Structure 1
């Protein structure tokens, strides 16, 4: 049987180094043939070279390695989502100061240097008199409250009578200016505590200034009874 099979083979084929007259296993030949038909190139399938089972397995391992490499490159080159940048917060608004950086007061009467003087916020009448050079020796200071806090733009009369029409901050007109007074100065008014004084300053910062004393009614916590007590003690 083997001789008849070998007799039908081509002489050149029988002279090849891989020639064998042993009949191949049909089951193995079928599985290897299907695998080779799927994964091996067409020119190699048409050739008479038989890589054998070990060769097919080696080619399968090479093909698997190449496939894994392609998958690894595809995975590494996949697009990645970048985190969104943090939102940019606007800078905080500059702090507004309600009190002027300094107070300008007019000092007239019996002082060494009458005229305008500049004092720090929260200064008292005694500070303005001292800034004007101090009182003269014959000046009578009994009618002047030297401990009173000053407001910007007022006028002090030292040792002389206060004119009826004078808009000063001493006896005869101790009204507090709602547009320049600090929280401490407002807190000294009767019926105005620390909380209400802060509300008055906040209202002034939000609306610019008081145009009339009646606008005090718009401040929270100031009812009709409290406003009736304050209207003669404040000015704009």
Structure 2
């Protein structure tokens, strides 16, 4: 009797291990979106599946040799603005990292305020640099907003900002009065 459960248990991991890995590749790539990869694929494979990085994309923050896991997001960004560390340009976001991203957003919130936007930022015309001045929006989230716009067309409602990876209900509520759809 113990042999049957052992063989059943051994049979179960095999199909799971053979399942494809789906990751989201956003930012400065030729075809942002979901890509399906073979188990054991690496970040370099995910970028290839997304058509490769655009010229000028900051790749310093990405470890091209790291294996990807199902459900994660790879953000290919731009070079950091002056005074920001370069490794902020690109990153890999997993479910566990999203809470850390929110905590990190609290730190820079005070610095953009003095030189922050003069008025509401138009989600349809704003550059990554303009979006980066918003509280809680760093270069990676700003690149994700521009990528969403490139993939989905113009924003028709501020509520659509909630569809951008990295912007949850709390961040959306904080940004609602600071952005507009022109």
Task: Sort the TM-score into its range (normalised by shorter chain).
Answer: 0.3 to 0.5
Q: Which has the higher contact order (CA 8 A, sep 6+)?
A: 2
Q: Which entry has the higher C-alpha Rg, 1 or 2?
A: 1
The alignment's TM-score, normalised by the length of structure 1, stands at 0.30
The alignment's TM-score, normalised by the length of structure 2, stands at 0.38
Structure with more of its chain in strand, by fraction:
2
